[in-house]
């Protein structure tokens, strides 16, 4: 039985959920991908503000309780040339570090992201004899990453297995203006609120 390692780029998956207009059930994601073999570990990467509020803490605690190893990075704030404030935290290094440092513990790496920055790590994993599965939505998946993977899974094709029913996000198709306003909010705040309904 193949050993499965799951690596979830929280910001990328949340952005995909916004595009789709429906949210993911993180427990169902674990169950779905564990069904491919024997789950070695599942990592969830997310940015957090410098002071984590109760909702955010509950969200992270819920993920940990489900069995995820949660990796966080503090958001940094910067101002652009127009005086607009931006928050960002890049967890790519953390994801790649876990992919490579645990490579002997899994046979299949499941990457939930469409970020093209993972093309080269995917190629390295395949050169080491690992199978690489990428899951995202086509419009958010780089051609290079998709080409580097052994298998590509479109979230739309597994919706029935991973959706959190009754919890819809505004999709770009239903309410583009509202979705755009929502996308400007930090993803961790909206995602954290999701624990209130568990």
Residue % of the chain over a pLDDT of 70: 81
CB-based contacts of 51, cutoff 8 Å, min separation 6: none
Q: Is the pTM of this model over 0.85?
A: no
Q: Give just the sign of the alpha carbon dihedral 26, 27, 28, 33.
A: positive
The pLDDT, as a whole number, for residue 169 is 57
- The runs of H, that is alpha helices, within 41-158 are 54-66, 92-101, 119-127, 143-148
Encode pLDDT of 119-158 as tens digits. Answer: 999 999 999 999 999 999 999 999 999 999 999 999 999 9
User: With contact defined as beta carbons under 8 Å apart, do 150 and 3 qualify?
Assistant: no
The pLDDT, as a whole number, for residue 193 is 38
3-9+31-164 to CATH, choices 3.40.50.261, 3.40.50.720, 1.10.260.40, 3.40.50.1010: 3.40.50.1010
The DSSP symbol for 48 reads E
List the chain domain ranges: 3-9+31-164
User: With contact defined as beta carbons under 8 Å apart, do 122 and 99 qualify?
Assistant: no
Residue % of the chain over a pLDDT of 90: 66
The pLDDT, as a whole number, for residue 77 is 73
The pLDDT, as a whole number, for residue 94 is 97
Encode pLDDT of 151-194 as tens digits. Answer: 999 999 999 999 988 766 555 444 444 444 444 333 333 333 34
Encode pLDDT of 1-23 as tens digits. Answer: 999 999 999 999 999 999 998 88
Q: What would the mean pLDDT of 56-66 be, rounded to a whole number?
A: 93
Cβ-in-10-Å burial (0-12, 13-18, 19+) of 27 comes to middle
> Of 114, 71, 117, 74, which is closest to residue 92 (Cα–Cα)?
117
């Amino acid at each position: 039985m193949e050993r499965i390692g799951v690596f979830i780029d929280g910001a990328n998956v949340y952005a995909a959920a916004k595009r789709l207009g429906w949210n993911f059930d993180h427990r169902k994601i674990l169950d779905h991908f564990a069904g491919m073999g024997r789950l070695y570990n599942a990592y969830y990467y997310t940015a957090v503000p410098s002071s984590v509020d109760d909702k955010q803490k509950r969200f992270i605690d819920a993920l940990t309780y489900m069995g995820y190893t949660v990796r966080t990075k503090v958001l940094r704030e910067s101002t652009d040339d127009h005086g607009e404030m931006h928050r960002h935290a890049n967890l790519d290094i953390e994801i790649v570090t876990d992919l490579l440092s645990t490579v002997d513990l899994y046979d299949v790496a499941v990457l939930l992201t469409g970020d093209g920055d993972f093309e080269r790590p995917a190629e390295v994993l395949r050169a080491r004899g690992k199978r690489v599965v990428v899951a995202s939505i086509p419009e958010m998946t780089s051609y290079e990453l998709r080409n580097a993977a052994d298998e590509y899974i479109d979230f739309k094709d597994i919706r029935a297995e991973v959706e959190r029913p009754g919890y819809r996000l505004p999709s770009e198709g239903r309410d583009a203006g509202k979705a755009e306003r929502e996308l400007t909010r930090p993803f961790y705040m909206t995602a954290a609120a999701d624990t209130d309904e568990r």
